[in-house]
Amino acid sequence: MAAAVGSVMARVPTRVSTLLAFGLLAACAGTTPPATGPVATNTAPPRPGLETVSTDFRALPGWSDDDHAQALPALQRTCRWVEAQPSDRPLGPNPAAGTTADWRPICAALRALPDSGPETARRFFEDNFTPVSLSAGQEGLFTGYYEVELRGSWTRTDRYNVPIYRTPKRSKRGVPSRAKIVDGALKGKGLEILWVDDPIDAFFLEIQGSGRVRMTDGSVVALGYAGQNGHGYFPIGKHLIDIGFCTAEQVTMPLIRRWLNEHPAEAKRVMNLNASYVFFQLRPNIGARGARNMELTGGRSLAVDASHIPLGVPLWLELRDAPAPNGEIKRLVVAQDTGGAIKGPVRGDLFWGHGTEAEEGAGVMKARGRYTMLAPRNASFLMAQRR
């Protein structure tokens, strides 16, 4: 879970980026796994000056090769948020991102596009935005997350015997730990939403914060984050490192899933090392949601630190050492999510979508890179900078 919260996959304090969740960076027990490297800072982002603003999109490596139309659905969700806000509300902490007043003409132009082809989309972005470099070109860590898909039943059977719980009422004793819940502490209280057939899949659902379930009656239902039991988080990848099974550099989500599947006698005990337990709710619509309840777009939605990057803005992403052809990702994305482990001026968690390919890509992603913000060309702040 890019460590996300608020709605569903978004703003889940316990949702962390997939690799961080499993202790890829050897986070300490009982804490939210921190970002590492030169990006962990809570200082305000630098105010963009003339030297950081460009009108030349050719300066963005790979810009002309991208299919910019794939980012239009994500930007349309930004516009729906803009249109529901009062005038002149800032999009975020960086003044170059403009206000809702600066964005309304852009959203009108988006609605008026004659078609959604790649060339039309590219011209739209070039006509309405200008690239603004962030953090003086500093690089940071970029991980990935995805929407889990499980198999489920509305009733308990021999096969479907792992409950997915809604949030219980708080009591003076608090909510039980994972180990007690797994052993039946909430059984018989009417909290079961549905049952799935794999406890490991259920565990991964908690890590990601939301998912979809294919039911035995043929329907597909969406589950979203609803709460947490209040116990400390422990990344089980750290345990596998501690016992010498792998190094911090080797551990990935597929490797941890393989270990759990190959050690069924130990899997329950190891998963219970993480006392934190996530509760869910049924959502009316299929598809992962991010901050501001925005529907996420696979490959085009990025979780960011909203204290540095304004939610809703387009970002030109440049990554290396990524699970992609030639190890590079160069594409237009939109800042649509946040996360407990996504901290710092250059830090991101790329949403891969759902399905096997998304799970594999998100599970191994540990890229380095940077982003460039596309700011409204006629934003009052940028206009003042040009004078």
> How far apart are the C-alpha atoms of 308 and 347, rounded to whole Å?
10
pLDDT at 29 over 60: no
Tell me the pLDDT band of 53, cut-offs 50, 70 and 90: low
Altogether, the residues listed in the chain come to a count of 387
Nearest-angstrom CA–CA distance, 312 and 93: 12
Q: Is the pLDDT of residue 33 over 60?
A: no
Q: Tell me which of 17 and 185 has the higher pLDDT.
A: 185
Sign of the C-alpha dihedral computed for residues 303, 304, 307 and 313 taken in this order? negative
Average pLDDT over all residues of the chain: 85
Place domain 18-36+147-283 in its CATH homologous superfamily.
Barwin-like endoglucanases (2.40.240.50)
Domain boundaries for CATH 2.40.240.50 within the chain: 18-36+147-283
Confidence of residue 32 (pLDDT cuts 50, 70, 90): very low
* Rg from Cα positions in the chain: 21
| pLDDT 10s digits, 64-122 | 999 999 999 999 999 999 999 998 899 998 899 999 999 999 999 999 999 989 999 99
**CA neighbours closer than 13 Å in the CB half-sphere of residue 257:** 18
Report the range of poorest mean pLDDT among 18-22, 100-104, 138-142, 318-322: 18-22
| The three-state (H, E, C) secondary structure of 223-244, written as one string | EEEEEECCCCCCCHHHHHHHCC
Rounded Cα distance between 71 and 65, Å, is 14
Please give the pLDDT value at position 18.
58
Where in the chain is CATH 2.40.40.10?
A: 57-142+294-386
Q: Is 131 exposed, middle or buried (0-12, 13-18, 19+ CB in 10 A)?
A: buried
pLDDT of residue 187: 95
Q: What is the pTM of this model?
A: 0.79
Q: How would residue 30 be classed by pLDDT, with cut points 50, 70 and 90?
A: very low
For domain 57-142+294-386, which architecture applies? Beta Barrel (2.40)
Give the residue-averaged pLDDT of 124-147. Answer: 91
> For the segment 196-210, what is each residue's pLDDT rounded down to a tens digit?
999 999 999 998 888
149-181 confidence digits (pLDDT tens): 999 999 999 999 999 999 999 888 899 999 999
For residue 274, pLDDT beyond 70? yes
**Confidence band, pLDDT 50/70/90 cuts, at residue 249:** confident
pLDDT in tens, 326-353: 999 999 999 999 887 799 999 999 999 9
* Confidence category of residue 47, pLDDT binned at 50, 70, 90: very low
